[in-house]
Amino acid sequence: MTTTIPADVPLHETIEPEGKRAKRARVVLEDADRGILSPADWRRPHVRIVGTVFNVILGISLVIIGLLPLLWLLKSAVTPTQDTLTNPLSLFPNGLAWSNISKAWNDVQIGSFFFNTIWMAVGEWAVQLLVATTGGYALSVLKPRYGKIISGLVLATLFVPAVVLLVPLYLTILHPPLIGHSLINTFWAVWLPAGASAFNVLLVMRFFDSLPREVFEAARTDGAGTFRLFWSIVLPMSKPILGVVSVFAINAAWADFLWPNLVLTDIGIQPLSVRLPQIQSSTDLGVYLAALTIATLIPVVIFLIFQRTFLRGGGLGGAVKG
């Protein structure tokens, strides 16, 4: 959840239009220059030995920490329950239980909760993008005179921990203005509040600020109206930042627990994060582990495909997100 933003985070330096940033990323990744150890250091035998030892230890620890729990989960998803209970660390002493997976999908209906999660994430993503891009465009490019006040108010919300909003936001969802009936147990209850992410608006605004004004002027001279400028010029130029915002949005939706747990009490529309803790006690352990595996595999695969965006976003987002 967004907590607070330190005033001196160099956002504008970390995010730049695509060309510059891509170059920078390449420098980051292929920086062959040097680190703490100089090439001369590396040539010294004892540095080399100690360095290699550290390297091996580091590699092993990272595999143990990052990979082993996942592999165990994967293994246990197809292990008969009794084996997991009595001998959790042995490798298939009594064969495989592929039925765990099909039971998790069919009987526990992980599939439908899975699609609920996706639907929730897509909606949150869409609302967040809509709010951040239109708002960012208005505040950063169109610059109305009252814009300063609004961006100030948006920024201010960064300093309010999400927990403060828990109860009043819940009441807002119960009695939303103008609609007349509760949004509890509808996806709007998670989609709409997700849009109020000052972090996204800020990121997009900073990025729009850095776009060259000459392009806008040229487009205007060519007769582009406000809408066309937004749709055909600004948005296409903003793909990198939209990618980062999208990764955040989808990641957050996948991870969110407390809020959907409160507002999505109807089983039919619950996402995995809410459903998995509830079915823990009524599900056979093997099937349950298969369910956890299914819930994990998709984000991991997405991560492995888009790892650069993730790691870049992580390096940037971690610095401003609590």
Report 241-300 residues binding other proteins (CB under 8 A).
254-255, 257-258, 262, 265, 267, 272-273, 276-277, 279-282, 284-285, 289, 292, 295-296, 299-300
For other proteins (CB under 8 A), the number of binding residues is: 138
Question: Closest separation between CB of residue 234 and other proteins, Å?
Answer: 11
User: 119 or 170, CB closer to other proteins?
Assistant: 170
Q: Does position 112 bind other proteins by CB under 8 A?
A: no
Query: Binding other proteins by CB under 8 A: which of 43, 66, 152, 213?
Result: 66
Q: Which stretch binds other proteins (CB under 8 A): 15-23, 94-102, 214-222, 237-245?
A: 214-222
Q: Does position 220 bind other proteins by CB under 8 A?
A: yes
Query: Binding other proteins by CB under 8 A: which of 19, 43, 91, 221?
Result: 221
Query: Binding other proteins by CB under 8 A: which of 74, 184, 211, 237?
Result: 184
Question: Closest separation between CB of residue 319 and other proteins, Å?
Answer: 6
Rounded (10°) angle between helices 285-305 and 99-106 = 90
Q: Does position 111 bind other proteins by CB under 8 A?
A: no
User: 96 or 265, CB closer to other proteins?
Assistant: 265
Query: Binding other proteins by CB under 8 A: which of 166, 215, 218, 305?
Result: 166
User: Which residues within the stretch 34-63 sit at the binding site for other proteins (CB under 8 A)?
Assistant: 34-38, 40-41, 47, 51, 54-55, 58-59, 62-63
